[in-house]
Structure 1
Amino acid sequence: MTSQQRTRTGPEPSSRPGRIPSMVALVLLTGVGPFATDTYVAALPELRGSLHTSATVAQLTMTAFIIGVAAGQLLLGPVSDARGRRVVVIATSVAFTLLSVVCAVAPSGGVLVAARLAQGIAAGSGVAVGRAMVTDTWRGPQAAARFGTIASVTFLGPVVAPAVGGLILHQGTWRTVFAALTLFGVAMVVAVLLGLPETLPPERRQSAGAADTVARMGDLLRDWSFLKHVVVQCLATAGFFTYIGGSSFVLQTVYAVTPGTYAVIFATNAAGMAGASLLFRASVVRVGAARLRGVGVVVSTSAAVGLLAVALADPAARLPVALPWALLALVVAGMGLVLPATTALAQEAGRRAAGAAAALQGGLSFLVGALVTPLTGVLGYRTLLPMALSMAVFFLLATVLLRFTGTSQRPGLGSPQQRSDAPSWSAVERE
């Protein structure tokens, strides 16, 4: 074996960790991002008045957090490949908790924006390192099943967080919301300390230099067996975030949906996404992650194309909102299969540097989502067509990529006959 081959495949785990990470702790660690994003949405007007700032600055507190989540994954995920997972998640969990206190007492909009950016970096680190810990501990379909569990809870964040925030605001102010996030952070610190052992022993760690970290990420980006999964996820995420950023404007403007009705639509769709990820969790060992991802992409693409057909056939929006709602629900449900499957496939392909792999596939897709979120506002929302066309294009590109790249078995990961605790790559990518 050449030195280049050793770099490409990386060291194989010498043994499984002595303690298995707690799924409760992993869910708290990876789910903090969506929860902390959406909990105080309803408090933005009050926040603006309380801090005597502008609506733009109030909204920037959310934007800064989202940017921080992407940056935290890209910056700190690779660090865990060198320093170990546990020290990173303990440090960032404590940082998230302390920054929640800073947010709760922030005297100005500028301080709050800065604190939210740093808080997002801490939360993003947990997302990347939590995925890496799953990759360290489980293989193949068993890892994919854990990603499905994490995804199903994470997808419920947009449903649960605004409701929790509303209950808090009924009794307090926006500062009370961040006090509650402080308590959430304390619970996360306790869960990490008690439930997350070190999953990357010293003999499997990478070198810690910045140049070596960049080299590992570059190695993954040059590896098409890894990168193809990231590109599929980015394209699908672009279609999904076009819906996230544009559906409220389109449905309320074109179909005269009230804010309350839109909240029901959004929550119902998110619940369907969580249900699809539970289906993924239940069936991935038997069916395979690649096949389930294919189903998810076909469902989302077909629904997006159907939405485009509705936009072209009914430009005056004479049809009831139930039809576009049903199609959007299918788009979102398909993503409940696509996201955990693609996460599992990308992590398996990038197992040699699991932290860097989690950083790239999570951080890049998050950045793409942030970039396309305002797309409908730019192209227009007076009709359904701009949003529907954008979604259809992104999902069709994902479908074409899957069709022409296919899958290939990645050698050197073992098989059920070789390792009882390591299901084969072919089982993960079974078509």
Structure 2
Amino acid sequence: MPRPSSLLRVAAVPSTVALVVVTGVGPIATDSYVAALPAVQDSLDTSAAVAQLTLTAFIVGMAAGQILFGPVSDGRGRRRLLVGGAIVFTLASALCAVAPTGALLVAARLVQGLAAGSGIAIGRAVVGDAYPPAEAARRYGTLASIVFLGPVLAPAAGGLILTVGDWRTVFVVLTFFGVLMILAAGLGLPETLPPEQRHGGGLGAAVRRMRDLGGEWSFMRHVCLQCLTICGFFTYIGGSSFVLQEVYGISESTYALVFAVNACAMAATSMLFRFAIGRVSPARLRVIGMAVSTSAAVGVLACAGAERVAGSPPPLAIVWVLLSVLVGGMGLTIPSATALGQEAGRRARGTAAALQGGLAFFCGAAVTPLTGLIGYDTLLPMAALMSGFFLLALLTLTVWFGIRETGGAASANGENMKVTGSPELHS
């Protein structure tokens, strides 16, 4: 373990609170100022496209940051990169707060996203380094849920900030959060990857690790499956505001309530995952979560069909419940997939976290605008996209993983993990 910095003292073991801060602040920064996008456009005298590009730049940066810095941490160690990423995030947030032009704000948001992505990937790797598989799975559940809940809850938090300030105030608050990240990484997270377990620190070595692990099917099948489910989930995130407000005529405040209740459903099932993981294998929890979300998506598609037949949409309450169930299923699917993927790629945990998280975010960013492009004057486009992605994911699970992981007998490895904490989390 490297000598502690003269400024910040290293903790003996990773702090869960510190891991939550390091991995959670970035996702909160994703869209916390989304309600103020028109104000961003006006105050910077720029176009709506540039204002929206500030969101896209951050999401792309967060995906790229995971892919770039996760493999580097397998060669250079975790702690220095975590502290460095927190410092860069803080400086980029401060630059966002004072940015005089739209172009500079977009650039600062890209850098901010890169730094946030590094914390997400390396934080997951720290968990795999420090804890045995069963306990690591619980902590993956917490971190993965925070990463994907952050963009869901951030608009509500940003809305509260906007009641006392403008969009620049949001970035001032994120700057303070960045300072918390620095303290969390410096005081709460030790170096968990000793020099003898590192794989070479150069960029070329990092690329080779990515190519090597990316060609390993036992790992990449988990990544591909997660990407499909994330596509279905982000279709909801990107399209539900347009669809529900257009089809049902609800207000922004009512939609915020719908979004918040659905986020609570995901938070509840994420807690359920933590309690269940010692008794039920991650593979089975993933099947349950995917089946729940797929059934709900198909239910929304049935509502869309009824809308076309009847000429009017079904009651909002029915669609709301189905969307809440869909989001709730992701509270089981995302942490299960994270645990299974990290264990499958355990020989290079930083690289595994990079590929799993980075590719999922890239896929999410790609599908987010689809509903707006195809149309949102009825339920059908969003419902068809969600159902298509989730059904394809469930079919993929059946084909690639076999009957043991799709509801039949539990795999022997999964059962061993439940009782003994065996490192074999996947079949």
TM-score normalised to structure 2 length: 0.91
In structure 2, what is the equivalent of residue 332 of structure 1?
A: 327
CA shift digits 1:171-220 (9 cap, x unpaired): 22221111111111111111111100001000000112333222211221
The residue aligned with 2:13 is 20
Please give the alpha-carbon distance, in whole angstroms, between the structure 1 residues aligned to 2:11 and 2:150.
Answer: 31
1:326-405 to 2 correspondences below 5 Å: 326-405=321-400
- Identify the match of residue 237 of structure 2 among 231, 236, 244: 244
Look up the match of 2:207.
214
- SS of alignment partner, residue 143 of structure 1: helix
**Structure 2 counterpart of 1:6:** none
Q: Secondary structure at the match of 2:279?
A: helix
Hey, what does 1:103 align to over in structure 2?
Answer: 96
- Aligned counterparts of 1:291 and 1:233: Cα–Cα separation in 2: 15
1:179 aligns with 2:177: no
Q: Is the 8 A contact 1:47 1:174 kept in 2?
A: yes
8 Å contact 1:147–1:343 — kept in the other structure? yes
Which residue in 1 is equivalent to 2:82? Answer: 89
Residue 261 of structure 1 is matched in structure 2 by: 254
Q: Which moved more, 1:314-323 or 1:195-204?
A: 314-323
Matches for 1:274-285 after TM superposition, within 5 Å? 274-285=267-278
Number of residue pairs matched? 409
Aligned CA distance change for structure 1 residues 128 and 398 (closer, same or farther; 3 Å): same
Any idea what the Cα deviations from partners look like across 1:96-123, whole Å, max 9, x if unmatched? 0111111111111111110000010000
| Stretch of structure 1 that moved more, 151-160 or 304-313 | 151-160
Q: Helix, strand or coil: the match of 1:171? A: coil
What are the residue-to-residue correspondences of 1:47-66 with 2, within 5 Å? 47-66=40-59
AA matched with 1:373: T
Q: Are residue 288 (structure 1) and residue 281 (structure 2) matched?
A: yes
Spell out, residue by residue over 1:42-93, the C-alpha distance to the aligned partner (whole angstroms, 9 max, x if none): 2222222111111111111111111100010011110000000001001000
Contact 1:145–1:281 (8 Å) recurs in 2: yes
Could you tell me which residue of structure 1 aligns to residue 5 of structure 2?
Answer: none
From 177, 183, 191, give the equivalent of 2:184: 191
Partner of 2:113: 120
Q: Which amino acid aligns with 2:364?
A: G
Q: Measure the CA separation in 2 of the matches of 1:66 and 1:264.
A: 24
CA distance in 1 between partners of 2:288 and 2:411 (Å): 22
Which position in structure 2 is the counterpart of 1:230?
Answer: 223
Deviates more, 1:354-363 or 1:369-378: 369-378
1:314-344 residue CA offsets vs partner (Å, 9 max, x unmatched):
2233421111111111111111111010000
How far, CA to CA, are the matches of 2:265 and 2:170 in structure 1? 27
8 A contact 1:155–1:271 mirrored in 2: no
Output the CA distance in 2 between the equivalents of 1:55 and 1:187: 32
| Residues 58/282 of structure 1: CA separation in 2 closer, same or farther (3 Å cut) | same
Aligned counterpart in structure 2 of residue 148 of structure 1, from 125, 130, 141: 141
Structure 2 residue identity aligned to 1:338: T
Distance in 2 (CA, whole Å) between partners of 1:373 and 1:140 is: 33
C-alpha RMSD of matched pairs (Å): 2.4
> Do residues 77 (structure 1) and 70 (structure 2) align?
yes
Per-residue deviation, 1:18: 8.9
Name the CA distance, whole Å, in 2 between partners of 1:59 and 1:363.
21
User: How far apart, CA to CA, are the structure 1 residues paired with 2:93 and 2:117?
Assistant: 15
Counterpart CA distance in 2 for 1:189 and 1:114 is: 22
What's the counterpart of residue 421 of structure 2?
Answer: 423
**Gap regions ≥5 residues in structure 1:** 1-16
Moved more, 305-314 or 128-137: 305-314
Measured in 1, the distance between the counterparts of 2:251 and 2:272 equals 32
Q: 1:18 to 1:119 in 2, by over 3 A?
A: closer
Name the CA shift for 1:152/1:372 in 2 (closer, same or farther; >3 Å). Answer: closer
Contact 2:72 2:203 in 1 (8 A): no
Deviation at 1:250, TM superposition (A): 1.1
* 1:156 CA displacement: 4.3
- Map of 1:323 onto structure 2: 318
Deviations 1:7-50 (CA, angstroms, capped at 9, x unpaired) = xxxxxxxxxx9932101111011111221112211222222211
* Whole-angstrom distance in 2 between the partners of 1:380 and 1:167: 31
Superposition deviation, residue 140 in structure 1: 2.0
Q: Match for residue 306 of structure 1?
A: 299
Q: For 1:171 and 1:375, how far apart are their aligned partners in 2?
A: 34
SS at match of 2:278: helix
Sequence identity percentage? 59
CA distance in structure 2 between the aligned counterparts of 1:176 and 1:249, rounded to whole angstroms: 27
Task: Give the equivalent residue in structure 2 for 1:138.
Answer: 131
Aligned residue for 2:277, secondary structure, equals helix
Amino acid paired to 1:59:
Q
Contact 1:254 1:317 (C-alpha < 8 Å) held by counterparts? no
